[in-house]
Structure 1
């Protein structure tokens, strides 16, 4: 009996100390063409290092979204940052920490150059809806449920979502605007000078990016959560957000835009 009790105490001790125990961690992460991935890579690696872990990063360059999900399914990627959804919660292990402090849920519109004036007099969601304009969204994105819930017109692009940039610029593919997160659109605008950032509106919903771990890496959940929470507390996350997004956010003038609050299902 005493031997069993001693063994149980050892197991419980290991469970309670595991998240704080330093370890060697290899992260296999995806990288995109815009450079937005650098923030998420930096936040995760620097947070883990600050928590005492030795971190090695292996990067997969320019993966389309479909390949990212496939790599998560087979543990070729350790984790990826995505909007939190109930479906993803069933497929992967969610790391409970808001990665952009809500910025990704503040949507700014890409529009074809010369069409910015269409939105200049919009003061509320009803007026925006009455314009009858159609958003371009990726197939299966959480935004699809948002646009449906708010009775906004949209088309879904199957396959490579980045084709939406050229579809929007063509002005003959049924796409009038492309909503992007405030933390994304600045870097993307540099790659797409044929498009304009609409200057008046900010569409807002309550969601954020979180890291999702592949099933084979689910054991890293408590380690990552502890490290990321400490990164928030220490100011590391705030510093990295300013470093990676600060300049672009200033140019967006978010505080001066008309905020259209979207219903989040």
Structure 2
């Protein structure tokens, strides 16, 4: 925006007669431009998950409006697979922000906002399986038993390396929705999903041939962060500031614990009754945030080491 110098001087002189308050108001108008933030549009089957993150973005940005100015959140024109979204964000191409599970590679390409948005829940994995295969899983007693079966995952998802590192078999697909077709067709035996993902996906699928397996859970440290381009320091600082304020005043925990999908997923999963296999995650960077109990769900908290 270009300003005529004479006009600005005249305006300043007029505002000076209004006193300090008028002058500060003038400065605020010209100091803050609206932050327009484009995030990846998600596929329809994940709409149950999006509600929480969209509400969280609104909360975080509203907490920082006074300090950083107004904002507008806009989804991308089309849905974008995770791997592609990471590359687009790294190259500063039509995306400003995404939320995803962290990995060392992702933190090399992007700037993480070090605040676990799901309090560690994403590292609690249950399976979507074929209903006809439940007897296979009833007979699993050890991790070696599970290693005889094959899991399915999205191409480039951080979980792929975690599962392979723990000697579990994995088949990948570049198309998220195609994974359910592959499961139905017997291309693999189980689809590990975060507990906040599995129940909503199962409900949205409306497919009696698939079920959420009731007995087994994989567990590993897998925080989900907001990510921005490494050069976008302003947005990183705004998100971190907003999340910190929301944690301090209790509004983050209120949103998290009252979000229906999160609450129902924890209740339905009944973690205490499941056979739990602890997996090592070689991809996660150790940070001091792992030592802060307020950032993690206390009733399923895991020691990092």
TM-score of the aligned structures, taking structure 1 as reference length: 0.83
Q: Which structure is higher in RCO with an 8 Å CA cutoff and minimum separation 6?
A: 1
Q: Give unpaired runs (5+ residues) of structure 2.
A: 1-30, 283-305
Indicate which of 121, 134, 140 corresponds to 1:103. Answer: 121
Aligned partners of 1:44 and 1:228 also within 8 Å: no
**How many Å apart are 1:28 and its aligned residue?**
1.0
Q: Secondary structure at the match of 1:30?
A: strand
Q: State the partner residue of 1:221.
A: 236
Change (3 A) 1:69 1:115: same
Post-superposition Cα deviations, 1:25-68, rounded to whole Å, max 9, x if no partner, equal 32211232121122112112212212335331111253333442
Aligned ranges 1:60-139 → 2 under 5 Å: 60=76, 61-72=78-89, 73-129=91-147, 132-139=148-155
Aligned partners of 1:31 and 1:37 also within 8 Å: no
Structure number with greater Rg is 2
Indicate which of 152, 159, 170 corresponds to 2:185. Answer: 170
Post-superposition Cα deviations, 1:128-147, rounded to whole Å, max 9, x if no partner, equal 33xx1000112222112111
Post-superposition Cα deviations, 1:200-234, rounded to whole Å, max 9, x if no partner, equal 01100111111110245333212211211222233
**How many Å apart are 1:71 and its aligned residue?**
3.4
RMSD: 2.1
Q: State the partner residue of 2:269.
A: 252
List 4+ stretches of structure 1 deviating above 4 A. Answer: none
Change (3 A) 1:227 1:56: same
Whether 1:179 and 2:192 are equivalent positions in the alignment is: yes
Post-superposition Cα deviations, 1:60-112, rounded to whole Å, max 9, x if no partner, equal 25333344234323341111011111111121111111111111111110101
Q: Give unpaired runs (5+ residues) of structure 1.
A: 1-20
Aligned partners of 2:83 and 2:156 also within 8 Å: no
Q: Distance in 1 between matches of 2:32 and 2:274?
A: 45
**How many Å apart are 1:23 and its aligned residue?**
7.1
Aligned partners of 2:97 and 2:226 also within 8 Å: yes
Change (3 A) 1:48 1:170: same
Whether 1:54 and 2:70 are equivalent positions in the alignment is: yes
Q: Secondary structure at the match of 2:136?
A: helix
Q: State the partner residue of 1:29.
A: 39
